[in-house]
Amino acid sequence: MKRWLSWSIVLVVIVISGGVLFAVTAHTHAAMRDIERLATINDVRVALERYYALYNRYPRAETSISIDARTLCASVAGWENAGCNTPVLVRVAHDPSAAYAYQYTANGETYTLDFYLEQRDTGWHRATPTGIQ
């Protein structure tokens, strides 16, 4: 009986430790995805400023478009799916969790980049020429 009780306690400790480890790991992975998203958004913002310096406007997108896997070209066309000879930004990375996509809207004078964060201020956020909200 005493031996059974000892093994039961060991088993309970292992199960609880595994649950805590799983929760910590899931939290860490979400935080890493957020870091990757913010890095991508910063890369896109820098590329958009380079485009603006060339054309004195941002690439137009009157309706929201997904820019995942698109290339920002140094041409009047702006965002391309493929075949760009003069890229300003070679290719926007896909959102690290296939559940979300980077959304871009612009009227030429300003732009918005919408993206989702899982850990840090969870929810949708917006980047503009003046910063990230």
Bridge pairing between strands 111-117 and 103-106: antiparallel
Distance, in Å, from the CA atom of 74 to the CA atom of 122, rounded to the nearest integer, reads 34
> What average pLDDT does range 86-110 have in this prediction?
89
Nearest alpha carbon to residue 39 among 111, 129, 117, 103: 117
Average pLDDT over every residue of 18-38 = 72
CB 79 within 8 A of CB 73: yes
Which amino acid appears at position 109 of this protein? Answer: E
Radius of gyration of the chain (CA): 22
Please write the tens of the pLDDT for every residue from 56-82: 999 999 889 999 888 888 887 788 877
Give the pLDDT confidence score for residue 23 in this predicted structure. 47
Q: Would you state the pLDDT for residue 76?
A: 76
CA–CA separation, 54 and 62 (whole Å): 20
Record the tokens describing residue 2, joined without a space: 């005493």
> What proportion of the chain, given as a percentage, has pLDDT over 70?
80
109: its two tokens:
């004078």
Average pLDDT over the chain reads 83
Q: State whether residue 77 is helix, strand or coil.
A: coil
pTM for the structure as a whole? 0.77
101 three-class SS: coil
